Structure 1
Amino acid sequence: MTPLVSVVIPMTRYELELDEALLSVFQQKEHDYEIVLVNNHALPGVLSVAEKWHLKHPDRVRIVTEPIPGAVSARNKGILASRGEFIAFLDSDDRMKPDRLSLQLSAIRQDPDITLVGSWKDEISPDGEVIGKDSAPQIPRWASILFGKTERWQRDPFYEPQTSTFLIRASAIQKAGMFDSRFDPFWLEDTDFSFRMYEKGRVVIVPQSLVEYRVHPKADSIRRIFDFGLILKHDVFFSILKEKYYLKDNPDSRSAFLKLKSRWLRETGIKMLAYQNGERYGKELIQKSLALNPSDLQSWEAFLRSRFIRSFYPRAFGIKGPIDAVLPEYVDDAWVSNLFSLDR
C-alpha cells in the first residue's frame, strides 16, 4: 500500500544514533509511514542496525543503496525510492519527537500552496542529552540582503529550517527539482533546496520543537567552519542566485548583490587568514569587501583586525584555532579574483 509519508534517512556513520533515530520514528503518533534507509557507504555496524530493523519490520523499513558518496546523492536516492505523498527527512544521528509527523501534516494540509514545513528544534549532546531547547529557524542574512525590499518578502519572508525538520510535498519536489548535484557531497545543499521550495510556494515553520538535533564536539564544528568546501559551495550558490536574480525584476538587485558579495568576501577572507598560507589572500579579500561596501562597519572591523600580526590569527576574530591546513593548490590569484564574480 502507498504510505502517506516516506521518512528518508541517509546513513553512513552513527551506529547507536541510527538505532535511536529509527526508534523515534516508530514512536510517532502518525502511523501511516514508511522508512527509506539510504546506504551511503555505511559502516558495517550501521548496516547491521538497519538490517535488524528491516527484518523486524519488512513492511515499513526498506534499505536502498546509493554508491555516490554525499548528502545530495543520498537524499536524492531516498526521494526517488519514496512512495509517500509527503517526504520527511531525518539525519541518522537526530531524533523525532512523537508528534512531529502529525503536527507537520496538519500544517501542510491547511494550504495547497505550502511546499515545505519545518519546525523548531532542540539541541542534544553527542550522548543524547538535551543542551538547548526551542531553537527557531532564522531568516538567513543573504536572503534578506537580496530580497528584503521585495513585495513577497514583506508579507512572507523565508525562514530556513534545519534539514531534519523538512516535511515536503512529493509533488513540490517534482516541480522544483531534487537536491542539486553541484553541492555534493554537502554544504548549502539544504539551503538551496529549501529556498527552491520557497520559490515554488510557501515554507511554513511549526512554532514548536519537533526534532532533537545532535550537536557534535566543538572541535568538529570548527573544522567544518574552516572546511574549504564551504567556500567553494558559497561560490556555487552565489552563481545560482546571480543567474536567477541579478539585474532581473528588481531595481535594487545590483546594489543588493554587491552587498552580498562584500559580505561573503569578508567572511571568506577571515577564514583564509586561518590557513597557514592564507594571509595574503585573506587580507586581499577583506580589502575588496570594504571597497565594495565602505559603509559596512563589520568590514571595517575585519580590515583593522587583519592588520594584526600573523600570530593573532584567527583569535583576532574571536575564533579558537588555528587549523592545521594549507590552501588547496588551485587557489591562486586568478581563482581569488573570480570568487563571487558578477561578470562570468
Structure 2
Amino acid sequence: MCTRILWNTNHHAVLAGRTMDWPESTEPVLTVFPRGLERNGGMLGGTTVVADNPLRWTSGFGSLVTTVYGAGTADGINEAGLAAHMLYLDSTDLGPRDPGRPGLQIALWIQYLLDSARNVQEALDLLDTCQLVPVELRGFQASVHVALEDAAGDSAIVEYIEGRRQVHHDRSYTIMTNEPSYEEQLRLLREKVRAVQGLGHDRPSSEVPLPGNVNAVDRFQRAAYFGALLPEPADDRQAVAAILAVTRNASVPFGAPYREGRFKTYNTEYRTVCDLTGKRYFFELATGPNLLWAEIDRFDLSPGAPVMTLRPDGTDLVGDVSDRFTRAPAPF
C-alpha cells in the first residue's frame, strides 16, 4: 500500500524513496512531459469524468513521472526540483462536489502540482485553486493522500479527512505510509519511541524491538527508525544506495498477507528514488534485478517538444536510460 521516505539531512543530496504496493500491475510507464501542454483536469484517460467546470491549465514546468493505468500520475519530479507522490489512504473523503469550483480528477492531482509549482510552498498555495473529484481506476476508488518535497528539503503531507483538508508542512515530516491518518501515525510513532526509550538508552540498535509486519503502521515505524540511522554518505552514489536500502526494508514481499477483500496481498510492484539535487529519477521494478534512472535535464522540455515514454520492464534496461525514451503517440 506504499511507503515514502525523505532524506533531507545529508550533505550530498535531498532524496526521496517510495514503494508502490498494489495487488496487481499498475502498468507503470516512465513519462517525460514538456512545458506548454494544455491540460484538462476533467479527463480520465479519454473519458470525461468532470463535465461541470473542469480545471484547465498549461504546464509551466517539464516533469519526469511514473503514470498509473495510463490515466494519471502516481509519482514524479519536475525540472525545478519539486517531487510528488500519491499513496493510498482508504479514509480519504473529498466532501461533496461544488460545481462553482474548477474540478480536478484526483488521479491528475500531483501532475497539476508538478506542472505548476517550483517548490512545496507553491504547491500548497495551489490547493485552493480547485476541488479534487474522486474517480475509480480499474475497479478501485482512487483514495489517496500526497507527499511533497523539494530541493531545499521542505516537505508536506496533504490528506482529506471527513471532507476537510489536513496539511502537515515541515521538513521533519519525512515518512508516510497509509492508514490511519497522518496525525494518528505520528501519535503511534511517539508512543513507540517512548516505549523504546524505556528499555534504556544504552541498548544496542540491533536489539531494539521493531514492528516487522507489512501493515502501514509497522512500515511507518520501521522506515522512521532506519531512516534516522542513515550515516553521512561519502558521495551521491552511496546516498542513493542508502535511501534504497531503507525503501527496500519497507517493501512488501510477494505473497505477504495484508487484508481481506478483493485481494489479500499488496506486494511491492516497484520502487523509485527522486534525487531532488541532481534531478535524477531512479526506478526499480520488483520483478527485475536492474536499477535504472533518467536525468530530467537531458530531455527537451521546451513548449512543443514531444512527450517521451519508456516502459521500464525490459531486462536490458539498466543504468542511465535517458536516451532509451521514445516519442509517445499523439495525442497523449
TM-score, structure 2 normalization: 0.26
**Bigger strand fraction:** 2
- Structure with higher Rg: it is 1
**TM-score when normalising by structure 1:** 0.26
